[in-house]
Amino acid sequence: MLRLENAIIRNGPFNVTANLAIESGHRIAVIGPSGAGKSTLIEGIAGFLPVTQGRILWRDQDMTTAAPGKRPVAMLFQDGNLFPHLTIAENVGLGLRPDLRLNGEQKARVSDALARVDLEGKEARKPAELSGGQQSRAALARVLVQARPLLLLDEPFAALGPALKHAMLDLVTELSAETGATVLMVSHDPADARRITDQIILVDEGVALAPQETGPLLDNPPAALRAYLGGTG
């Protein structure tokens, strides 16, 4: 279980407060208006932003001040953050060792992850030699090799066309179901939430609410969410 106990996450002059618990193994959409604090919440859990009050606990272990690399977290950003001068295999290998001095077992894990996202044979290419969708899959492979129990996705597939986005979302579902990973995904699209999540954390004006069941919440949204969804929920 991931718990945010009266946590205040600071992002410059902006704060997000959260007092909530997330059961392991759920896939959860983080939804709310632009500027509400969704990315701030995710980056606070990842350790990229400071918690100024309260605590963040994973399986009852306090990780409030742990460095990002010491947390049970893998994070996927919208642009994938691939390094243009490195090959796809090297980019994925970075998920295991920043200095890329991989042993045989680690190289095998990189190959497995690339196969899992249908990129076998593309190991030696640079990101620019792949399509947008293939680049997204490579970024997902880097997250996969890390094999962390908590997967944080910040609008990861927003730049992709609908068919490719659905394929990527379904891949996240498949992989997280296999590994039992807990997934938190920032999304602006309620259809994404319905497609792969069972719960939603609503973030509004710097407050993150406890997870609620996806279907009932979107079927009968409270006023703030209804205004945001614009009747498309």
Ligand X SMILES: Nc1ncnc2c1ncn2[C@@H]1O[C@H](COP(=O)(O)OP(=O)(O)OP(=O)(O)O)[C@@H](O)[C@H]1O
How many binding residues for ligand X (CB under 6 A)? 12
Return d(Cα 220, Cα 26) in angstroms, integer: 21
Q: Kindly indicate which of the ranges 36-44, 63-71, 130-138, 224-232 contains the residues binding ligand X, using the contact rule CB under 6 A.
A: 36-44
Tokens of 134: 């293939």
Return d(Cα 149, Cα 71) in angstroms, integer: 10
Q: Kindly indicate which of the ranges 32-40, 75-83, 124-132, 135-143 contains the residues binding ligand X, using the contact rule CB under 6 A.
A: 32-40
Residue 8 amino acid letter: I
Residues 2, 182: contact at Cβ < 8 Å? yes
- 40 makes contact with ligand X (CB under 6 A): yes
Site for ligand X in 8-27 (CB under 6 A): 11-14
How far apart are CB 147 and ligand X at their closest, in Å? 27
Tokens of 89: 């295999």
Q: Kindly indicate which of the ranges 35-43, 61-69, 70-78, 89-97 contains the residues binding ligand X, using the contact rule CB under 6 A.
A: 35-43
- 37 makes contact with ligand X (CB under 6 A): yes
- 190 makes contact with ligand X (CB under 6 A): no
- 34 makes contact with ligand X (CB under 6 A): yes
Residues with Cβ within 8 Å of 135's Cβ and at least 6 positions away in sequence, in order, are: 80, 82, 127
Name the residue with the smallest CB distance to ligand X.
Answer: 12
Q: How far is CA 15 from CA 55, 57, 61, 110, 222, in A?
A: 15, 19, 23, 38, 23
Q: Kindly indicate which of the ranges 31-39, 57-65, 114-122, 219-227 contains the residues binding ligand X, using the contact rule CB under 6 A.
A: 31-39
Residues 196, 167: contact at Cβ < 8 Å? no
Among 22, 28, 36, 113, binds ligand X (CB under 6 A): 36
Residues 142, 95: contact at Cβ < 8 Å? yes
Residue 29 parent element (H or E): strand 27-31
- 208 makes contact with ligand X (CB under 6 A): no
Among 4, 28, 29, 39, binds ligand X (CB under 6 A): 39
What are the residues binding ligand X (CB under 6 A)? 11-14, 32, 34-40
